[in-house]
Amino acid sequence: MNKSKLKTSETYRIKQEILRAKALNKGVKLIAPETIYLCSDTIFGKNVTVEPYVVIGPKVKIGSNSVIRSFSYLEGTHIEKNVSIGPYARLRSGTNIKSFAKIGNFVETKKSKISSNTKVNHLSYIGDTIIGKNSNIGAGTITCNYDGKKKSRTIISDKVFVGSNSSLVAPINLKSGSTVGAGSVITKNVNKNSLAITRSQQIEVKNFNRKKKNVRNNRHSK
């Protein structure tokens, strides 16, 4: 490595040490601070915890009593009070997380608002979306916001339950109190307090004889 690159690397290392020290002095609980990377414009509230291997990019604000769990990446994100993020979450620009919401493991968000007491716990993509209060987004849910030419918005109102492995094809509106059955592809608006479900009928063949692969034992073959 040449001297210029070494100097740049050393400058970055020193900058990170200064940012970490500043956060610690403000009362932020950085667990294994040497593994956490901050930005100069990061704003922390009171009693914030950041677990190991978190990267915080530009324009991030984290409210009081919030926890950022390991291996999460944040940029352009506003997090209010008492929020739990991660582990392994990716919050992209335009994300706004309201108080007492939860973003779980392997969840990605972009240009979306997640309101108070709403949970997106596992393995989901939430893009160009507004989610109301007290809603639950099941594991594997995808907001299909891009049709190859333009991006469209998904609106999920208060007290909505979206079952696991569902695809919500934008533009779409799930109204208050509605439910989406697991495994559904939803392409039309869902009315208030209604159930929407799209599944093929399950077929069962009795006494099915599955073909088995012939396995030759070549142990003693010449």
Rounded CA gap, 70 and 85, in Å?
9
Which entry of 22, 78, 122, 159 is annotated as an active-site residue?
A: 122
Cα-atom radius of gyration of the chain, to the nearest Å?
23
Scan for tokens 């002095």, then name that residue: 25
- Beta strands 154-156 and 172-174 are parallel
Under DSSP, the state recorded for 25 is H
- The 3-state DSSP composition of the chain as helix, strand, coil percent (nearest 5) reads 10, 30, 55
* 7 and 27 Cβ atoms separated by less than 8 Å: no
Rounded Cα distance, 173 and 167, in Å: 13
| DSSP one-letter code for 195 | E
Set out the domains of the chain in order of their start, with CATH numbers: 21-110 (2.160.10.10), 116-208 (2.160.10.10)
Q: What is the pLDDT of residue 175?
A: 98
Burial of 134 (0-12, 13-18, 19+ CB in 10 A): middle
Q: What is the pLDDT of residues 26-80, one digit of tens each?
A: 999 999 999 999 999 999 999 999 999 999 999 999 999 999 999 999 999 999 9
For residue 18, report the phi and psi dihedrals to the nearest 5 degrees. -65, -45
Instruction: State how far Cα 83 lies from the chain centre.
Output: 13
Mean pLDDT of 206-210: 89
Q: Is 180 helix (H, G, I), strand (E, B) or coil?
A: strand
Annotated catalytic residue 78: no
Strands (E) in 132-176, as ranges, are 136-137, 142-144, 154-156, 161-162, 167-169, 172-174
The pLDDT score that the predictor gives to residue 214 is: 73
Q: Is residue 221 scored above 60 in pLDDT?
A: no
pLDDT in tens, 132-191: 999 999 999 999 999 999 999 999 999 999 999 999 999 999 999 999 999 999 999 999
CA 186 from centroid of its chain's CA atoms: 20
SS3 122: strand
pLDDT band at 219 (very low <50, low <70, confident <90, very high): low
